[in-house]
Chains A and B, each alone.
Chain A
Amino acid sequence: MESIDLFSSLWAYLQSYDFIALLLKLIFILIIGPGLVPIMVWLERRGSAMIQGRMGPNRVGPLGLLQALADVLKFFAKEPFVPGTANKFYYNLAPIIAAVAPLAAFAAIPFGGTVLFDGYETNLQLSNLNIGILAALAFAGLEVYPIMLAGWASNNKYAVLGALRGASQMISYEIAMGLALIAMFLIYGTVDMNQMVAWQGESLFGILPRWGLFVNPLAAMIFLIGIFAETNRMPFDLPEGDAELVAGYHVEYGSTKFAMFFFAEYVAMSMAAALFVTLFLGGYGLLPGMEALAQYLAQVFQLEALGLHNLKTFLGVGSFLMKLCFMLFFYIWVRWTVPRFRFDQLMNLGWRILLPIGLVNLVFTAIAIYFIGSSL
């Protein structure tokens, strides 16, 4: 009897809007998360080529768009080699954590407002957790483990050195990032990302959108530098170093496992970019001018309030993706502009410059909020 109840309630759940919405959102996340990777790789190659006055890969498919596919096929065709002295369990575990952690963080990031359908309202966010951004940060923080595991389990001196660098770098920049975040929490007065986006939806002095970037540029700056360091991007790609460490922590990885690290790196970048967009660029809030566009379209197509709401949500997803793409392009742009830091310079920047600035910013923000209130 019990089992039938369970079965029928499960069946009812499977037919409910909840389940369908969840499935659709899951598919969307799985498309934009990993789907951004080949586009990023392509953009990275073509972009770097153009910045350096070259052409970049343009043979595989139109404009070389299928180059990433060719790379993936090549990786899968390679022999999955495991070094004899490696610790097999951790060696295999590391790329799995690396690939899964940033994808999990994506689940907590809202990519749009709410959709109303047949009286049913759904949030465009895979899981609307109470702790909101902290969950995303926790998953992002997991990123340091695969590096350490990979470095240690490979039983290779280069790998260990790369892993040590990676770990110390990520930990030092997480502190400064955390301070910048706390300042933003004070301003928004919440850790729920939907409310943060709503807060940023207003306008500042009537001209600028009230984005975190304009409200607290210093925190945005620190956070931006922090995500470059967190994702091991140029100019902070110290865990890898062709000259001194070969490939760093993943020097012993090949074929599919290397592809997973590669994939993880780009997913982590898009995840960090999504976090930055949500915190400082107004998230899925409409870009300036889109509000008017929505009103205009509603007039043209004679939309009711419900249709207008859904249209705005749709445009919101578009704005989110546009901001995200800009951030991703910014990564590439910076990578091919700035030479890399030396490791001591990196540590100096983290501990002796960003940390004090972050602290001062936090204290100043707290005082400012005490006097003028968070309403700004």
Chain B
Amino acid sequence: MTIVVARHEKISDRFYLVALAQGLVVTMKQMLRSLFGKGIVTIEYPEKRREYSQRFRGAHFISVDSKKTENCTACYLCQTVCPADCITIVAGERDAATSEYGVKKEKRPLSFDIDALRCCFCGFCEEACPKDAIKLSRSYEMATLTREEAQYDLKFLVREVKDRG
């Protein structure tokens, strides 16, 4: 079935030159605006960065308490929920008798690896975590020169992230 779309063209539209002149006026206006620094919508990236929303899902981090100990208790919930299967945790224990946390942080991750190349940044790990430990920061500069650098380990994850990056 053909669909006929009626175009109501005035004579001036069919005579291409008038429309052309109008177009030239439009672009000239925009150019003059840009020339005086008004209509420019882009930013100069490395010097200026966009403020992304607090809900932006970027590079992972694990929150720490006031003594810089990670909040993660190696419960494996994030590893279980992760759809991309990119979290690998090895759990260990602190001695409850000598540790200042007592039974509170008895269990801890010995290693916590995230394969950022597999991650789809769905944020499920953050949702699942009962300790508010794993989080996604607002940092989006995640390009690396080697594949190995994209394997985030515990040392990287507990880095200081202010205001979600």
Contact = CB atoms under 8 A, between A and B. Distances in A.
Interface of A: 47, 49-55, 221, 333-334, 336-338
Contact of A336 (B27, B33, B39): B27
Nearest to A221: B17
9 contacts: A50-B35, A51-B27, A53-B39, A54-B34, A333-B24, A333-B28, A337-B20, A337-B23, A337-B26
A338 B42 contact: no
- Size band of the interface chain B makes with A: 10 to 19
Contacts of B27: 51, 333, 336-337
Interface string B10-34: 0000000100100110111011011
Contacts of A55: 34, 40, 42, 44
B149 to A, nearest CB: 27
A1 B100 CA distance: 113
Chain B at the A interface: SS class: helix
B24 A334 contact: yes
Given A53-B42, A54-B41, A54-B42, A337 B24 contact: yes
Residue in B24, B34, B44 whose Cβ sees the most chain A Cβ within 10 Å: B34
Nearest to B26: A337
Contact of B34 (A53, A221, A334): A53
B34 A50 contact: yes
B44 A51 contact: no
A53 B24 contact: no
A54 B40 contact: yes
Residue in A49, A51, A221 whose Cβ sees the most chain B Cβ within 10 Å: A51
Nearest to B24: A337
Contact of B30 (A50, A221, A334, A338): A50
Contacts of A337: 20, 23-24, 26-27
Contacts of A47: 31
Query: Which 7 pairs between the two chains have the least Cβ-Cβ distance?
Result: A50-B34, A337-B27, A337-B23, A50-B31, A53-B41, A51-B27, A53-B39
Contacts of A54: 34, 40-42
A51 B30 contact: yes
A55 B28 CA distance: 15
Contacts of B23: 337-338
B34 A51 contact: yes
Residue in B17, B23, B28 whose Cβ sees the most chain A Cβ within 10 Å: B23
A338 B42 CA distance: 23
B146 to A, nearest CB: 26
B41 to A, nearest CB: 5
B119 to A, nearest CB: 32
Nearest to A339: B23
A53 B40 contact: yes
